């Protein structure tokens, strides 16, 4: 989370005077199966007022941790469910803040949603219909929506979809070469995810470069626990690496990314595994964790590789090579490439991964400046590339801020 700390303007760093009127704020909710992440963002200066996480909900170990300004706090909430956690969170809200809207992260909007929308009964039903495509995520997001509507009955609620930004993909990019009726009758196609992050960093890159987004061709690489890259031209997403589900594309913490689909039949025959067991292996036991046998956490792997751990090194090599290969492939979706943008926990913080990736992008004219890469980008642009080479930037993502902006813009339309 990188919204600026409470009361501090991201643009100027100046302190906001304590206003006499209530401070309008947007509450951002991101609900998982047993957890809820929340953030409260003041609308006047886009300041982060409060952020936190309630987890292990419904169990005796339920806890809530939060950051209030610079102070980190936590308490246990044995047996608390989602509604109890939201009530607990309300108790944390500063008295001078008025929640003017709640913005919800919703993972899958399928083809039904190409924009953020205000929630009503019809929208809820439509999100429910998308659940078949995201059975782990959408039901949890819906539970969050319903709980927030109970706890904040008079406050407008807005859904912001991970997939919406990718709805501009042309057919040639979103169709798989499988029987066409699979698309028509079952919705089998590339949807793409992390759309809120890709959209935010693209607009932030344009702002930092002082150029209109409409005039730029960009490839954005969101590298966190989940990883995806997107080709964006004129502010419209033209292609992306994640597909029907977030399993496709780049190597991730525990997800395999691209594989030969026949591998599933092969492993079923070899091991007598069910489809469910194989999918668990591809989603939770693969990626960096599967290759290294050590960890899904890139920090751990970089440290281990520096200490001579051969499989940590191998996992990093595969990760960086596959990323470079996808970036090269995505360039086919663009008529111009003005910058490659790194973001997410790994993209923002790992000079090592950026450098390894850049080594495999020489054909695209990429050459990083080691000194700029060491400091994660030259202020204010975030440039890490040498002058006169393909521009590469590090731009921290801020999905909560993007959701707050989207929520506000839906309210104002």
Q: What residues are labeled active site?
A: 162
CB of 227 to ligand AMP, least distance (A): 9
CB of 253 to ligand AMP, least distance (A): 6
Q: Tell me which of 225, 264, 328, 389 binds ligand AMP, using CB under 6 A.
A: 225
Ranges within 316-355 binding ligand AMP (CB under 6 A)? 344-346, 349-350
Backbone angles phi and psi of 207, in degrees to 5: -60, -45
Q: What is the largest CA-CA distance in the chain?
A: 70
Q: Tell me which of 302, 316, 340, 368 binds ligand AMP, using CB under 6 A.
A: 302
DSSP states along 258-301 = S--THHHHHHHHHH---HHHHHHHHHHS-HHHHHHSS-S-HHHH
CB of 25 to ligand AMP, least distance (A): 24
Ranges within 241-260 binding ligand AMP (CB under 6 A)? 253
Whether the CB-CB separation of 408 and 159 falls below 8 Å is answered with no
CB of 255 to ligand AMP, least distance (A): 12
Q: Tell me which of 195, 224, 249, 287 binds ligand AMP, using CB under 6 A.
A: 224
Closest CB to ligand AMP among residues 128, 306 = 306
CA-to-CA distance for 233 and 215, rounded, in angstroms?
Answer: 8
The angle at the Cα of 247, spanning 216 to 251, to the nearest 5 degrees, equals 70
Q: At 260, list the tokens.
A: 């030969």
- Among 149, 151, 103, 111, smallest CA distance to 127 is for 111
- Among 339, 340, 322, 332, smallest CA distance to 172 is for 332
Q: Tell me which of 88, 258, 297, 369 binds ligand AMP, using CB under 6 A.
A: 297
Closest CB to ligand AMP among residues 16, 317 = 317
Place of tokens 């929340």: 38
CB of 184 to ligand AMP, least distance (A): 35
The 10 Å Cβ neighbour count of residue 263 is 12
Closest CB to ligand AMP among residues 87, 299 = 299
Q: Tell me which of 44, 87, 299, 336 binds ligand AMP, using CB under 6 A.
A: 299
Closest CB to ligand AMP among residues 23, 255 = 255
Which residue number places its CB atom closest to ligand AMP?
A: 345
Backbone angles phi and psi of 149, in degrees to 5: -70, -30
Whether the CB-CB separation of 239 and 169 falls below 8 Å is answered with yes
The SS3 call for residue 23 is strand
Provide the binding-site residues for ligand AMP, judged by CB under 6 A. 224-225, 253, 297-299, 302, 344-346, 349-350
């Amino acid at each position: 989370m990188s919204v600026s700390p409470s009361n501090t303007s991201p643009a100027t760093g100046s302190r906001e005077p304590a206003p006499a009127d209530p401070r309008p704020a947007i509450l951002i909710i991101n609900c998982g199966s047993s957890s809820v992440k929340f953030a409260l963002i003041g609308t006047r200066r886009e300041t982060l007022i409060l952020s936190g996480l309630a987890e292990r909900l419904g169990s005796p170990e339920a806890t809530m941790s939060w950051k209030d300004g610079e102070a980190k706090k936590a308490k246990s909430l044995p047996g608390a469910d989602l509604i109890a956690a939201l009530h607990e969170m309300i108790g944390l809200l500063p008295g001078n803040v008025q929640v003017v809207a709640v913005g919800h992260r919703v993972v899958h909007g399928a083809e039904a949603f190409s924009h953020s929308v205000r929630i009503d009964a019809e929208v809820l039903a439509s999100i429910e219909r998308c659940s078949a495509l995201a059975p782990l995520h959408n039901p949890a997001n819906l539970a969050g929506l319903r709980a927030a509507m109970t706890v904040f009955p008079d406050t407008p609620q807005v859904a912001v979809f991970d997939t919406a930004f990718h709805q501009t993909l042309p057919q040639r990019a979103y169709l798989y070469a499988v029987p066409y009726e699979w698309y028509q009758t079952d919705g089998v196609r590339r949807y793409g995810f992390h759309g809120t992050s890709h959209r935010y960093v693209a607009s932030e890159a344009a702002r930092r470069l002082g150029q209109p987004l409409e005039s730029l061709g960009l490839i954005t690489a969101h590298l966190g626990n989940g990883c995806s890259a997107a080709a964006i031209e004129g502010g419209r997403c033209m292609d992306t690496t994640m597909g029907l589900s977030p399993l496709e594309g780049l190597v991730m913490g525990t997800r395999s990314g691209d594989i030969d689909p026949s591998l599933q039949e092969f492993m079923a025959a070899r091991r007598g595994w069910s489809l469910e067991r194989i999918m668990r292996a591809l989603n939770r036991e693969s990626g960096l964790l599967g290759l290294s046998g050590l960890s899904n956490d890139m920090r751990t792997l970089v440290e281990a590789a520096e200490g001579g751990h051969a499989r940590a090194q191998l996992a990093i090599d595969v990760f960086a090579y596959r990323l470079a290969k996808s970036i090269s492939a995505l360039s086919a979706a663009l008529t111009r490439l003005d910058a490659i943008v790194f973001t997410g926990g790994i993209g923002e913080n790992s000079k090592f991964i950026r450098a390894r990736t850049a080594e495999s992008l020489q054909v695209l004219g990429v050459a990083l400046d080691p000194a700029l890469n060491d400091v994660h980008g030259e202020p204010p642009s975030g440039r890490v590339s040498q002058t006169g080479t393909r521009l590469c930037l590090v731009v921290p993502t801020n999905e909560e801020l993007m959701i707050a902006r989207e929520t506000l813009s839906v309210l104002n339309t």
